[in-house]
């Protein structure tokens, strides 16, 4: 008999989503606007504490609009963490600006404040800094915000992976001048695809909605004085989001429980470390990850690699995933600069990539699934 597939992270639906969709059909609001879109924005504002929100077609679209609104253009420099998904950086290149990649620190795996300081020495006036809260772990926001403020450079928070993660009592996504969330299929809540841009400045979210709907001037005729996009969230999609948001806290609690289960299950294996959580944070634990200690070997003296563990899991029909490959190592971004915390120092991002992997973190996984995953990983050591 074929073994059941155990997933990394996939959608978990509850039923209310369909109610909101049905309402949209019944009232014929099948369009990139409508009551679900407006309500989802309001509900996200209430959940995150963000002042204002603009619902969009994707997290990537939200990052793109954030950069457009901050005036990022040709020849501008934008600081971007290296250890992240390519979508964090792609919009920088859409606008023909130049990303400069910043190394990670070990405490949270996110943008290193020391490396950021060094980047400012080399490039004193970037147009923006993008920070990411990788796998749901809050970045060192106090330090990063202080550095940005010193230089008068706006911070964009890519909170695509960290909806529900709280840093010192406040939601990630609400610290930067602009924050963005993603509702892609494997995120902590999903709308199948979607995103949101948030800001305390209503002018910014209004501008986002304007640009997302083809930048149509308020004139009788179809008049345009700026280039716009078709980036608005649909009323159907927003319905899914409203249903999902009702279960956000439940999803977060289950994700955190998965993390703790792994942490306990591997506590007696010194060669395994779980991904760090922020000591000042209440992280959503979107994906639980682990790293293998340098030089860890099997009893037969073979070096233990992430590939070895991923292969062992795949044999049991369990999905896992490498850590994001650092962007400064990507062929498409090879021409751009990369800054570490100290001159000539080895890259922390590269080291995490070399020794790490993402473990199955789907909230529907059963105790038996968890047992199989844990047994399989332990069996590699």
Ligand X SMILES: *Cc1c(COP(=O)(O)O)cnc(C)c1O
- Return the number of the residue (62 or 296) whose C-beta is nearest ligand X: 62
Q: How far is the CB of 8 from ligand X (least distance, A)?
A: 13
Q: How many CB atoms lie within 10 A of CB 181?
A: 32
> Could you tell me which of 84, 118, 100 has the C-alpha nearest to residue 344?
118
Q: Which of residues 84-103 bind ligand X (CB under 6 A)?
A: 84-85, 87-88
Q: Point out which span in 19-27, 43-51, 153-161, 249-257 binds ligand X (CB under 6 A).
A: 153-161
SS3 string, 183-216, reads: CCCCCCCCCCCCEEEEECCHHHHHHHHHHHECCC
CA dist list (Å): 368 to 67, 101, 131, 364, 372: 45, 41, 37, 11, 6
Report how far residue 164's alpha carbon sits from residue 353's, in angstroms, rounded to the nearest whole number: 25
Report how far residue 347's alpha carbon sits from residue 345's, in angstroms, rounded to the nearest whole number: 6
Q: Is residue 158 within the footprint of ligand X (CB under 6 A)?
A: yes
| Residue from 9, 36, 48, 60 in contact with ligand X (CB under 6 A) | 60
Do the beta carbons of residue 79 and residue 156 sit within 8 Å? no
Helix or strand run (H / E) with residue 261: helix 248-265
- Return the number of the residue (36 or 88) whose C-beta is nearest ligand X: 88
Strand-strand pairing, 289-292 and 52-56? unpaired
- Return the number of the residue (39 or 55) whose C-beta is nearest ligand X: 55
Q: How far is the CB of 21 from ligand X (least distance, A)?
A: 19
| Residue from 11, 136, 176, 195 in contact with ligand X (CB under 6 A) | 195
- Return the number of the residue (59 or 356) whose C-beta is nearest ligand X: 59
Q: How far is the CB of 120 from ligand X (least distance, A)?
A: 23
Q: How far is the CB of 139 from ligand X (least distance, A)?
A: 11
- Lay out the site mask for ligand X across 66-85 (x = CB under 6 A, - = otherwise): ------------------xx
| Residue from 17, 76, 103, 161 in contact with ligand X (CB under 6 A) | 161
Q: How far is the CB of 61 from ligand X (least distance, A)?
A: 7
- Return the number of the residue (20 or 135) whose C-beta is nearest ligand X: 135
Q: Is residue 104 within the footprint of ligand X (CB under 6 A)?
A: no
- Where are the strands (E) in the chain, listed by range? 52-56, 77-81, 98-102, 128-132, 155-158, 166-167, 170-171, 178-182, 195-199, 272-274, 281-282, 289-292, 321-322, 338-339, 356-358
- Return the number of the residue (76 or 158) whose C-beta is nearest ligand X: 158
- Return the number of the residue (84 or 320) whose C-beta is nearest ligand X: 84
Count how many residues are written for the chain.
381
Report how far residue 229's alpha carbon sits from residue 233's, in angstroms, rounded to the nearest whole number: 12
Q: Is residue 160 within the footprint of ligand X (CB under 6 A)?
A: yes
> Could you tell me which of 51, 260, 67, 244 has the C-alpha nearest to residue 164?
244
Query: For ligand X, which residue has the nearest CB?
Result: 59
Report how far residue 157's alpha carbon sits from residue 229's, in angstroms, rounded to the nearest whole number: 21
- Return the number of the residue (91 or 306) whose C-beta is nearest ligand X: 91
Q: How far is the CB of 327 from ligand X (least distance, A)?
A: 11
Q: Is residue 110 within the footprint of ligand X (CB under 6 A)?
A: no
Report how far residue 198's alpha carbon sits from residue 171's, in angstroms, rounded to the nearest whole number: 11
Q: Point out which span in 156-164, 166-174, 254-262, 348-356 binds ligand X (CB under 6 A).
A: 156-164
Contact residues for ligand X, defined by CB under 6 A:
58-60, 84-85, 87-88, 132, 158, 160-161, 182, 184, 195
């Amino acid at each position: 008999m074929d073994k059941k597939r155990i997933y990394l992270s996939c959608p978990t639906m509850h039923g209310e989503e369909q109610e909101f969709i049905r309402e949209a059909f019944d009232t014929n609001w099948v369009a990139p606007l409508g009551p679900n879109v407006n309500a989802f924005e309001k509900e996200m504002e209430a959940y995150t504490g963000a002042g204002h929100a603009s619902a969009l077609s994707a997290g990537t679209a939200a990052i793109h609009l954030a950069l457009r609104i901050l005036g990022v253009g040709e020849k501008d420099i934008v600081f971007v963490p290296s250890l992240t998904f390519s979508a964090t950086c792609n919009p920088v290149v859409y606008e023909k600006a130049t990303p400069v990649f910043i190394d990670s620190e070990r405490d949270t795996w996110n943008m290193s404040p020391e490396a950021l300081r060094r980047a400012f020495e080399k490039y004193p006036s970037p147009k923006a800094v993008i920070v990411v809260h990788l796998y749901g772990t809050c970045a060192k926001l106090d330090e990063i915000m202080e550095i940005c403020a010193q230089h008068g450079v706006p911070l964009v928070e890519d909170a695509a992976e960290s909806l529900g993660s709280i840093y010192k009592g406040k939601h990630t996504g609400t610290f930067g001048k602009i924050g963005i969330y993603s509702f892609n299929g494997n995120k902590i809540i999903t709308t199948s695809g979607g995103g949101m841009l948030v800001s305390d400045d209503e002018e910014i979210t209004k501008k986002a909605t304007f640009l997302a709907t083809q930048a149509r001037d308020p004139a009788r005729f179809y008049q345009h004085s700026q280039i716009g996009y078709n980036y608005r969230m649909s009323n159907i999609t927003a319905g899914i989001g409203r249903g999902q948001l009702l279960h956000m806290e439940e999803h977060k609690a289950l994700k955190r429980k998965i993390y703790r289960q792994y942490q306990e299950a591997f506590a007696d294996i010194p060669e395994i470390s779980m991904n760090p959580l922020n000591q000042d944070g209440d992280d959503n634990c979107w994906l639980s990850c682990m790293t293998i200690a340098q030089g860890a070997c099997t009893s037969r003296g073979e070096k233990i690699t992430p590939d070895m563990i991923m292969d062992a899991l795949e044999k049991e029909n369990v999905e896992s995933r490498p850590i994001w490959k650092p962007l400064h190592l990507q062929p498409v971004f090879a021409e751009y600069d990369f800054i570490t915390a100290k001159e000539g120092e080895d890259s922390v991002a590269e080291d995490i990539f070399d020794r790490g992997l993402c473990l199955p973190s789907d909230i529907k996984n059963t105790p038996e699934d968890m047992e199989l995953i844990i047994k399989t990983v332990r069996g590699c050591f």
